[in-house]
Amino acid sequence: MKLHIDKDRLARELDQLASISDAPAPVVTRVVFTEADLRARAFLKGLCSEAGLQIREDAVGNTFVRWVGIEPKLPAVGTGSHIDAIPNAGRFDGTVGVLGGLEAIRALARAGFQPRRSIELVIFTAEEPTRFGVGCLGSRLLSGALDASAGGRLKDREGKTLDDVRLAANFSGSLDHIRLPDKYYHAFVELHIEQGPILEQEHIDLGIVTAIAAPAGMRFWIEGEGGHAGAVPMADRQDAFLAAAEIALCIESAAKASGGSDTVATTGVCDVFPGAMNSIPSQVRMEADVRDIDLARRDRVLDKIMAAAEQVAARRRVSVTTEVLNADPPGRCDPMVITALTCACEAHRASSKRMISRAYHDSLFMSLIAPAAMLFIPCRGGVSHRPDEYASPEAIARGTLVLAEALASLSG
């Protein structure tokens, strides 16, 4: 079978998708269920319809695009990723796995391949935690890691629930029916940019992911006492922001002292009230991300952070409420899928490296219900979640070619 990836078409489609944004180029901002997100979904469904593929959507907007195989009752082979983008993001995070997955299917069809098992492209809803504070929303629901109560429980900053916004976007039906049946997928492969510098630094074509780090999200509500910035003596202050700042430093210290280089922690949200230069902050909402490939070590870091927050609260005479938003187990990639990717790299003379993913992805949750693995392509400087995020057309095409080969192997 002679496979050919239409590199120019794929690059053009990535550019077209990037132009659908709530911010001017080169910035990409596509928050789930916004007008830009819905336009992007329509664009992709149009491409999939042109390719003659079957399309269905579930109640939270996960989109399934199927190339029906010779034996359609067999568990399918899945691939895909996400198209939502955090504010001030780039154009390749997630989208390479969606449009690359589509082009892999088109390349196999052009080559005359007939899959025994159906091949299904999945566009996951809300991989990014931007709107509801929980990442991988769609794949969590698909895998059963999140239940239907999320519809009324998860809220955005405006107080709108997940059910409110999905229904407004015309995704109706019960969340109870989203979880996929057992053995729905025979295997799942996600193509993605590395979002790190290793492949580029080591001049390696592709990364084959063997494990995905376990993420945990934390939220802190800090309440102190406001007052006039000039009138309240320093000794009498109960400054909520300074307590939050100290907790943020404790988060960093706990990660650095974990004993493992794979432990990382980031304080990415800090909302200060009332937010005036001449007013002592009385309330702070802060969110942090802690992750590791080692579950026990990650959880020890969480315990240290919560203990430190209590100590800061007592010392600074403020109230601190800590909430763990999610604390997921690490994902172990499946040997069968890893072998298929390794053989596909060898077939196309692409150098490869087995590696872990410190970033988490929808494949983490797909690994709970199917044999899964990931394929990384290098990105310039390891930069991601920024407008200057970049992966070359050649790297994207190479990754798509190897993905297509692996899909053929797994579906045959």
Q: Model confidence over 22-56: pLDDT tens digits?
A: 999 999 999 999 999 999 999 999 999 999 999 99
With a cut of 90, say whether residue 133 has pLDDT above it: no
pLDDT the model gives residue 49: 98
How much is the pTM? 0.88
Residues 196, 147 share a domain:
yes
* Residue 64 maps to a domain: yes
In 83-196, beta strands by DSSP E: 85-89, 119-124, 185-193
- Please list, in sequence order, all residues whose beta carbon lies within 8 angstroms of the beta carbon of residue 81, skipping any fewer than 6 positions away: 94, 95, 96, 97, 98, 101, 123, 124, 127, 190, 191, 192, 361, 362
Q: Closest by alpha carbon to 77, among 332, 328, 329, 334?
A: 334
Q: CB–CB of 247/309 below 8 Å?
A: yes
Mean pLDDT of the region 78-96: 98
- Quote the pLDDT of residue 385: 96
Same domain, residue pair 126 and 68: yes
CA dihedral 312, 314, 318, 322 (to 10 degrees): 60
Q: Looking at the domain assignment, is residue 154 inside a domain?
A: yes
Q: Find out whether 70 and 116 touch, Cβ atoms under 8 Å.
A: yes
| Residues 284 and 233 reside in one and the same domain | yes
The verdict on 249 and 106 lying in the same domain is: no
Query: What are the tens digits of pLDDT across the range 365-398?
Result: 999 999 999 999 999 999 999 999 999 999 999 9
pLDDT of 274 reads 98
Give domain status of residue 2, yes or no: no
Mean pLDDT of 241-268: 96
- Do 313 and 385 sit in the same domain of this protein? no
**How many structural domains does the chain have?**
2
Q: Directed axis angle between helix 240-256 and helix 295-316, to 10°?
A: 150
Tokens of 237: 């202050």
In a domain, 229, yes or no: yes
Q: State the CATH number of the domain containing residue 106.
A: 3.40.630.10
Integer CA distances (angstroms), 315 to 231, 233, 237, 246, in order: 22, 17, 12, 11
Of 327, 351, 377, the one marking the end of a domain is: 327
Residues 30, 125 within the same domain? yes
Same domain, 199 and 228: no
Q: Which domain holds residue 69?
A: 7-213+330-411
**pLDDT given at position 34:** 98
Query: What is d(CA 384, CA 389) in angstroms, rounded to the nearest whole number?
Result: 5
Q: Are residues 295 and 266 in the same domain?
A: yes
Identify whether residues 282 and 337 lie together within a single domain: no
pLDDT in tens, 200-232: 999 999 999 999 998 899 999 999 999 999 999
Helix and strand numbers (H, E) in the chain are: 12, 17
**Whether 39 and 165 share a structural domain:** yes
Mean pLDDT of the chain: 97
* pLDDT top residue among 95 and 329: 95
Which among 299, 327, 355 is the end of a domain?
327
Distance (Å, rounded) from C-alpha 161 to C-alpha 266? 26
| 61 within domain boundaries | yes
Q: Is residue 350 part of a domain?
A: yes
Residues 6+ positions from 172 with CB-CB distance below 8 Å: 59, 166
Return d(Cα 278, Cα 183) in angstroms, integer.
59
Q: What is the phi/psi pair of residue 244, to 5°?
A: -65, -40
Query: Please, which contacts does 197-201 make with residues 24 or more away whose CB atoms are closer than 8 Å?
Result: 197/381, 197/382, 198/353, 198/355, 198/382, 199/353, 199/376, 199/377, 199/378, 200/378, 200/379, 200/380, 200/381, 200/382
User: 298, 327, 356: which is the final residue of a domain?
Assistant: 327
Is 1 inside a domain boundary? no
- In a shared domain, residues 11 and 68: yes
* 56 φ/ψ sector (left φ>0, alpha ψ -120 to 50, else beta): beta
Strands 63-67 and 119-124, by their bridges, are antiparallel
Residues 205 and 247 in one domain: no
Return d(Cα 88, Cα 248) in angstroms, integer.
23
Q: Which of 320, 215, 224 is nearest to 268 (CA)?
A: 215
Across the strands, what pairs with 285? 221, 271
**CATH number of the domain that residue 299 is part of:** 3.30.70.360
Q: H-type helices in 21-84, by residue range? A: 35-50
| Distance separating alpha carbons of residues 2 and 255, to the nearest angstrom | 48
